[in-house]
């Protein structure tokens, strides 16, 4: 893979990645600690014929992104937890209508206004179900500066593949971190873009929501000669509202199965010194950086710790987590919330003895804190 070396912040890299991945539209509203994404992309998009709009609020921000995506553009919004709360209803609309878009959430403390300038990972469960109803969310989580770029690129490709919103989680620490990153060249990224599927047959044979039970809708861009209907209601193959029992059942089951039956395409994780580990630390985002330093220090003391880092948080890499948990004595989940992914690790591993180290005061978890907790268990 052709690469380049850059010095940047996580937020800036995410904005750059979106443009390199073919994003032509940004709609949003500035919100700490995500605002730099909007600042950077508002400079970049006009240079390539794209559009960036600051709307009056977060609700309008996601609505215009949905509109741009309906017209065929790759489209992005960025915000933090309170903004996702405002966007929730229309994220549900995008799930139901199967409109692809990317939403970057740079996490800060909550609930409500919380700690706007401090780090948190309190939006993990929100990302699993940001809106009401039955569907399966796709959520990626960057664990390095380079991944702020590469996971944003992957999000756009997955959004078009699965025809739904894809969430990229950063946290305040990694979004504002400034340093060196090795990332793919823009040419490399552009070469890997796979456009969303489209229909090119006779207009009277086009049924956008008539597809296999495990596949997404095929939505041609609006204004390109094919007419169909968008609605948040349960709908038939044309997109028109219906209450027909079997049609409704198949629709909602398909929204689940188009992701659930293709998790192999989504699964992504990192294993760090896990080959001979006696204790498995599960961490993600910026916390995983502290965990790696902890593991190096513990290894020097003769304690065989390893890291399992989920990159795709939802759907979780449950099978691999269970595989390790079945042969490792202790499992420690470290996160900047009160245990949101801890419950998923318990579910995935079928173990109720999963330990946790949690912090919710807006400050990072240090390697020393993780090491002290590991020594309690070892």
- pLDDT for 378: 81
Do 280 and 182 fall into the same domain?
A: no
The pLDDT of 260-284, averaged and rounded, is: 97
- Separation CA 372–CA 378 (nearest Å): 10
Residues 157 and 38 in one domain: yes
In-domain check, residue 211 = no
What's the predicted TM-score (pTM) here?
A: 0.97
pLDDT given for residue 1 in this prediction: 77
Share of the chain above pLDDT 90, in %: 98
pLDDT at 66 over 80: yes
Q: How far apart are CA 324 and CA 305, in angstroms?
A: 12
Query: What token pair was written down for 271?
Result: 């294993």
Q: Averaged over 295-308, what is the pLDDT? A: 98
Classify residue 246: in a domain, yes or no. no
Q: What is the CATH number of the domain that holds 74?
A: 3.40.50.970
| Final residue before a domain boundary, out of 165, 191, 217 | 191
Average pLDDT of 23-35?
A: 98
Residues 6+ apart with CB under 8 A from 126: 81, 84, 85
Separation of alpha carbons 66 and 165, rounded Å: 9
Q: Assess whether pLDDT exceeds 90 at residue 268.
A: yes
Radius of gyration for the alpha carbons in the chain, expressed in angstroms and rounded: 21
Mean pLDDT, rounded, of the chain: 97
In a shared domain, residues 179 and 87 = yes
Q: Other C-beta atoms within 10 Å of 372: how many?
A: 12
- Token pair listed for 366: 């240090």
Q: CATH number of the domain at 288, please.
A: 3.40.50.920
In this structure, what DSSP letter does residue 221 have? P
Report yes or no on 240 lying in a domain. Answer: no
DSSP secondary structure string for all residues of 97-152: HT--EEEEEEEEE-STT-EEEEE--TTHHHHHSSSSSS---EEEE--SHHHHHHHH
Mean pLDDT of all residues in 305-334? 97
Structural contact between residues 14 and 186, judged by C-beta atoms closer than 8 angstroms: no
pLDDT of 315 over the 80 cut: yes
Domain count, the chain: 2
Per-residue confidence (pLDDT) for residue 17, from 0 to 100: 98
Write down the pLDDT at residue 74.
98
Domain carrying residue 336: 269-377
- The share of the chain scoring above pLDDT 70, in percent, equals 100
At residue 30, φ and ψ (nearest 5 deg) are -65, 135
Sign of the Cα torsion 312, 376, 290, 184 reads negative
What are 164-180's pLDDT values in tens digits?
A: 999 999 999 999 999 99
Residues 300 and 168 in one domain: no
Together in a domain, 169 and 279: no
If pLDDT is split at 50, 70 and 90, which confidence band does 112 have? Answer: very high
245 contacts: CB under 8 Å, gap ≥ 6: none
Same domain as 273, residue 142 = no
Q: Is 302 in contact with 353 (CB distance < 8 Å)?
A: no
Instruction: Give per-residue pLDDT as tens, 221-264.
Output: 998 889 999 999 999 999 999 999 999 999 999 999 999 999 99
Q: Is residue 356 part of a domain?
A: yes
Six-digit token string for 293: 């330093």
| 333 domain residue, yes or no | yes
Question: Among 139, 161, 191, which residue terminates a domain?
Answer: 191
Pair (146, 295) in one structural domain = no
**Cα separation of 2 and 332, whole Å?**
37
Specify the pLDDT at position 234: 98
| Band (214; pLDDT cuts 50, 70, 90) | very high
What are the CA-CA distances from residue 324 to residues 152, 272, 353, 354 (Å)? 28, 12, 14, 13
**Is there a single domain that holds both residue 281 and residue 184?**
no
Looking at the structure, tell me whether residues 175 and 275 fall in a common domain: no
Task: Select from 158, 191, 224 the last residue of a domain.
Answer: 191
Domain match, 149 and 295 both: no
Measure the CA–CA gap between 169 and 312, rounded to whole angstroms: 10
Amino acid 37: pLDDT: 98
Q: Would you say 45 and 51 are in contact if contact means Cβ atoms under 8 Å apart?
A: yes
Residue 307 falls within a domain, yes or no?
yes
142-154 confidence digits (pLDDT tens): 999 999 999 999 9
Indicate whether 109 and 21 sit together in one domain.
yes
Do residues 278 and 330 make contact, with C-beta atoms less than 8 angstroms apart?
yes
Average of pLDDT values for 30-50? Answer: 98
> Cβ-count burial of 236 within 10 angstroms (0-12 exposed, 13-18 middle, 19+ buried)?
middle
20, part of any domain:
yes
> Residues near 22 by Cβ (< 8 Å), separated by ≥ 6?
74, 156, 190, 193
Please report whether residue 293 resides in a domain.
yes
Work out whether strand 115-119 and strand 101-109 pair parallel, antiparallel, or are unpaired: antiparallel
What pLDDT, on a 0 to 100 scale, did the predictor assign at position 256? 98
């Amino acid at each position: 893979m052709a690469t380049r070396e850059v010095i940047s912040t996580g937020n800036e890299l995410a904005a750059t990645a979106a443009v390199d991945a073919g994003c032509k539209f940004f709609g949003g509203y500035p919100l700490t600690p995500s605002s730099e994404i909007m600042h950077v992309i508002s400079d970049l998009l006009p240079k390539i014929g794209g559009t960036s709009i600051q709307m009056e609020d977060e609700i309008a921000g996601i609505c215009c992104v949905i509109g741009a995506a309906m017209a065929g553009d790759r489209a992005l919004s960025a915000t933090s937890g309170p903004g996702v709360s405002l966007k929730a209803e229309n994220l549900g609309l995008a799930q139901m209508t199967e409109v692809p878009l990317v939403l970057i959430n740079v996490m800060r403390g909550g609930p409500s206004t919380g700690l706007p300038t401090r780090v948190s990972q309190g939006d993990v469960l929100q990302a699993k179900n940001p809106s009401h109803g039955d569907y399966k969310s796709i959520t990626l989580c960057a664990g390095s500066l380079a991944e702020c770029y590469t996971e944003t690129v992957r999000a756009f490709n997955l959004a078009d593949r699965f025809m739904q919103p894809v969430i990229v989680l950063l946290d305040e620490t990694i979004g504002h971190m400034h340093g060196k990153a090795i990332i793919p060249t823009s040419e490399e990224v552009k070469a890997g873009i796979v456009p969303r599927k489209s229909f090119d047959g006779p207009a009277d044979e086009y049924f956008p929501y008539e597809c296999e039970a495990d596949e997404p809708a095929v939505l041609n861009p609006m204004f390109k000669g094919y007419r169909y209907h968008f609605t948040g209601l349960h709908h038939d193959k044309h997109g028109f509202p219906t209450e027909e029992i079997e049609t409704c059942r198949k629709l909602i089951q398909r929204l689940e199965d188009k992701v659930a039956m293709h998790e192999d395409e989504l699964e992504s994780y990192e294993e760090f010194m896990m080959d001979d580990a006696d204790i498995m630390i599960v961490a993600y985002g910026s916390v995983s950086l502290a965990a790696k330093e902890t593991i190096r220090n513990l290894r020097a003391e003769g304690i065989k710790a390893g890291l399992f880092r989920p990159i795709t948080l939802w759907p979780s890499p449950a099978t691999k987590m269970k595989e390790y948990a079945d042969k490792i004595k202790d499992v420690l989940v470290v996160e900047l919330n009160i245990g949101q992914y801890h419950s998923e690790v318990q579910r995935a591993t079928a173990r109720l003895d999963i330990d946790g180290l949690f912090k919710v005061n807006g400050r990072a978890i240090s390697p020393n804190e993780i090491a002290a907790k590991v020594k309690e268990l070892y």
